[in-house]
Structures are given as structure tokens and as C-alpha cells.
Structure 1
Amino acid sequence: MRLLHTSDWHVGRTFHGADTVDALSAVLAELPGIVRRERIDVVLVAGDVFDSAMPAGRHVEALTRALQQIRDAGAHVVLSSGNHDSPARLGANAGFARAGGLHLSTAATDPASWRIDLEDEHGPVAVFAIPYLEPVVLRAAMPEAGIGAQADAMRWAMDAVRADLGERPARSVVLAHCFAAGVAADDDDAPREIRAGGLDVVPLSAFDGVDYAALGHIHSRQELRRAVRYSGAPLHYSFRERSPERGGWIVDLGADGLADVAWCGFPVPRALTQVRGELDALLADERFDGTEEHWVRAVLTDAAMPLDAMRRLQHRWPHCAQVEWAGSLDRPDVASVRERLQRRSDAEVVDDFLAHVRGEGASEAERALVAEGLARVSAAAAAR
């Protein structure tokens, strides 16, 4: 059996305020061709199918269209809910959908519903689509289970999976949406609401006993073990996701379990580029020729924040989506400024203020203007 592991479609998510549904639809429209070309039997989506618990109508239509095209290409589809999804909405009519080869798993407290039984020439294959496990919800539903954190929740779920396999043996694949130990996320791939340390980390040993664990929650591909991987999202959804490639893992199951895993790249509708420097220099820098249609994040190092920087950047890069001013790296701290205020003249205070906020003091012309202004203030105060 051959499976395509994907995750984190996030239908309806924006990229720094820009709509992405058309770009995502174009990427997902490539999946039927991949299914036919690579002879994929099952497409997996490991959580966060939608970006919102209440997706807009056109986002539902985009997902429906993509799933129908995959089914028309001949593959089963298995989806599990993630922390962004509404289990009730995503799982609506799951029983009817399963009859048509679309398997929706959203019931976190019902392990019996996670198992999807498939078969190939070597015999049965059990796909366990574990929905996102929210510890608070599980504790309320099953106080006796002793679930304190995400790691406890995943151990409970995988114990249920292993018990099921003990009663009904089969080659097995698990879908799970979590933050697993060993992820090299730094600050670039972590979704908005996860924590990279502490009790939310799931140990890799939790996934022992199955042939392959298809993980979701991290937005770039990761290989934690040969049989435990993240596929990442099909689109870039943030400049933090610096991994340039997008795609999924093609997973081959042989007669005795996992046979092979290979990367399958998806098209990238718009690449990410970060530029750094002074604004005027960036606008003329030939090194960035050819990046004009990229999503661009600009870090400006001008001494003072340039006026109308975004408009000027978008003249060269129409899809510039983020501007950050780095300013001077040697600005004095607040304590040193306060100390100086106590022993400086008014003119010197103004000069220090300018040095603090823009990295350099006043020019001679500016000092003349300051002196004139202070003289007028003094004259007005004396006249009162």
C-alpha cells in the first residue's frame, strides 16, 4: 500500500493579511495528478484541515472540491481534526462520507472510531486517525485516566491503539497532531499556540508499536525517526517557516510493514525572501533581481525609520508583506538615558533623545533649530 502523508492544510488561513485560498487550491489541485502518477492508495491529512473553527462558505467549497478531485483520482482520504478545526463541523456526516472513501476522524474520546480498515495484496492495513487531543477536554470526560498534559494524552491514545492492534493485528499507520520531542523548530516552524518545551512535548517512544506515524502541527518537513515524520503545510503561512520546500511523504508499506519513505515536492506558488539593509540600498540592490514576485520581509537598518517605507518597498516588491526597522544596535538603555537627563541642559537632552531613538545625535542645522525653539520657550515662560 502506498500512502501520501500531508498535514496542516489550514484552508482559510491568510499570509500576513493576504488571502491564500486560491494559491492553496492550486497546490491541492496537483494532488490528483500525484495520486495517479505515483499510484497513491491513501492520502492522509494529519490535522488542521481548516484554519478556523467556523470556516467561511468558500473555504468549505475549496476543501470539498479538493477532496472530490482526490477521490476521483482513485485514492481514499483520511483526515483527522487538529487544534484549529471544529471537530463537530469537520466530522459532520462522517458515517456517510466513509462509505464514499472519505474518512473523517474527529471524536477525541472515542478510540474505537479512529480505526480505518483498508486492505492490499498483502492483507489488512489499519489506519488510526487520532484527532487533536486537548488535555482539558479529556480530563473532563475521563477524570480516571489521569491525563495531565499532551504527553499523557498521547500515551493514553497510543495505548488504546496498541490494545486494538493486539486484538486485531494488522500493519498500522497512525495520524497524530502534536509537538513531538526532537523537532528542530527553533522559532521558524512552530505554530502560533504551541510551546516548544515543558509538558506539551510528546516523547517519540509514545509512537512505538506502529509501522509509521504521520504527524502534523509543525509547518515544515521533519524526520524524527525513519517511521516518525512531519510533512509540513502545503503552503508557507509565515516568514517564520523558512524551509523553502513544500510537499508530503510517500509512504510504502510492504508485506512486513514499512518498506520505504520518499519526499514528494509540491509547487510553491510564491517563494519567501528576506532582505536586510538601508532602504535606498535595498531598492537598488541587484542581488535581489528576480525576487520581485516573492513574498518579502524587509529589515531596515537605516539610522531613522524611513518615511513611507512599505509603499516604496512595494514599488519594487509588490508582495512585500512585512517591514521591520532594526535601527541602531548600539542605542543606550533607558537607565543610562535617565541618568544623563539629570545632569544635561535642555539642548543636550534633545540631542541625547535623538541619539536614543535614531542612533545618531542632532545635526548642526537641527541644533540651531532646537536652540531657537528653546529660546522662545524660555522667553514665553519669563513673560508669564
Structure 2
Amino acid sequence: MKTLKIANIPGDGIGKEVVPAATEILKTLSDIHGGLRFEFTSFPWSCEYYLEHGKMMPEDGLERLKDFDSIFLGAVGNLKLVPDHVSLWGLLIKIRREFEQVINIRPAKVIDGVRSPLLNPKDFDLIVVRENSEGEYSSVGGKIFQGEDEIAIQNAIFSRKGTERAMRYAFELAKKRRKHVTSATKSNGIFHSMPFWDHVFEEVSKDYPEINTDSQHIDALSAFFVTRPERFDVIVASNLFGDILTDLGAAIMGSVGIAPAANINVNGKFPSMFEPVHGSAPDIVGKGIANPIGQIWTAKMMLDHYGEEELGGILLNVIESVTRDGILTPDIGGKYTTKGVTDEINTRLKAIDKKGNNAEFIIK
């Protein structure tokens, strides 16, 4: 029996509502599989934790997390309590950077029953591979002077190792999909880093002659996400460009509430982290209407990461059967609650295989 040790960090806002929902679904999936066991340990690290302790996680937080197979994160941030740059760099980005989660992947596709804001979405199905450790989000830089002479300098860092690593990940992913990789660039406006990005992309593509490629400037690419998203398969992008494109991808699906993400450690030294794209959504906290699909789809990505693609595919199919039948939360035009959607997904999963009583599921 395979046991996956998962660190649950519900975090802030609706994270505390959707993580338990997705955890319930994973319990049912373990029963269906029969040879898969989950062991969850929850950590209360959040903005509320910061108010009590003066930090987003304890000093030994990373040490406590490093031996888990994965981290299952809900949401981070509460501007009323803690500035975003403090909460994000103290928890989310700290985990990403120090656990070498150098790749971020986020899919976007037409989901049956969820209305896209696009007039004709044409069944788009794409995935963005985002370099997740450097680029425009480096912490290199600083400020000098005061008043009207004040200057802020932010340095973008692009290493060959980091750039090539993201591109090779994208090409390997494309081999399993429709065999096309698009590079997001801006070499007509950014003088050093983007021509370098283009050069590395051209070099890496030579090692994958079976994969078709193209390169698009980020402004045009953003427009094509809206006008022709069906043309894309795998898109590889820098940290900033990937961040922007994936929020746009969530928007054309119909709601950021259904969008999943994975932060991947590729060297096996540390756990990967799985989180939905949405934030803590303080405006709907406690109302019971948060969309659980983003977190549940994120669980599907976690299963895929551990080679359980068949089980992950079952889960996504069941999610789409539920949305197809109009069982939707208010953000995507429905009237169902978080619990109502979760219960329906759970019920349909259980109907697939009622013999799953061999797996053990533990929540500490």
C-alpha cells in the first residue's frame, strides 16, 4: 500500500473552508483506489498566526515540513491583518523558494457546465509552465535616497539553469499532450533577459524535434488567450509573465475559484506544494459559498504528480459531471454551497466503486 504524507496548511479566509472539502474528497479516492493511503497533518499557519506570534510560521516550520510528501495549501493573505508582502514572503514564497519549487504549472480548460465569458471558447485546453524561482520576482535590488529623489531598483534574474529547466519541463509535458510549446517573450522591448530567453528556447527546442514550437510576445499572447485560446497547448513563461497568463487563463474558464496550481520540486529533495489559484476571498468568508473546485482540482494535480493519473482523471471527470448538471456555487452562476458541491462530488465518486474499504485514511 502506498502512503502519502500530506501537510495541510488551510491558511487564511476560504482556505479554511475548501481544504477540508478537498481532504474529504481525497478520503473517498483512497477508498476507491484500495492501495493508496493518505496521512494528513494540519498546520495553523496564517495571518492570524502572525498576529499571535509575529511570524507567518515558526522558526522550525520548514524543518517540520520537509519530510512530507506534499504540501496542500489553501490560501494566504488578509490585508486587514497583515500586509501582503509580509504574509506572502513569510509563508507561500518562503516555502516555494527554500523548498526549491522551481516550476509552477497551471492548467486552464473549458469545464462542462461552467460558462466562459468568451463568446466561443472552442474547447480550449492549455497549461502554463511558469519558471517559479527567479526572473522578475527575484529579491535582488533596493532603494536609495528619500523624497523626490527616491529610487527603487528591482533586478530581474535569469539564469541559464533556471530558464532551461522550465523549458525542458514544458517540452516533456508537451510530449504527453498535443506536442506543441509556445514561448512567452518580450524581446522587442526588454533588452537583455528576453533575447537570452529566446536563445535558450531555440537551443532547447532542437532536442525535441517532434515538438512544434512558436514564440509570442506577451502582449500579443495575452490577446490570443482571449481571442484564440484553442490554439495553445503548453506555454512556457517567466515568473511574471506566467503569473499574469495563468490568472487570465482562470478568467476565461469562468472563475478564478475553479483554477488549480502546483509548485513542483524537480530534484526530490523537498516536497512539492499544491494550491488553488484563488486567494483568501475575505468578502465571502463564513458564508459557505466558496467554490471548492479549485482546491479539489488541485488535489487531482497532486495525484498526477505521484503517478496516479487514472485516479486523477476519474476525479476531473466527476467534477465535470457535477458542473454539467448545474451543481454550481454562486461565483459560476449557481446557488449551491461549498458543502453541496463537495457532497455531490463525493456521492458520485462513491458510486463508481462501492468496494473501497481496504484503504486507511488518517487525519491527525
Taking structure 1 as the reference length, the TM-score comes to 0.27
Q: Report the structure, 1 or 2, having the larger strand content.
A: 1
Q: Higher RCO, 1 or 2 (CA under 8 Å, sep at least 6)?
A: 2
State the structure with more CA Rg.
Answer: 1
Q: Report the structure, 1 or 2, having the larger helix content.
A: 2
Taking structure 2 as the reference length, the TM-score comes to 0.28
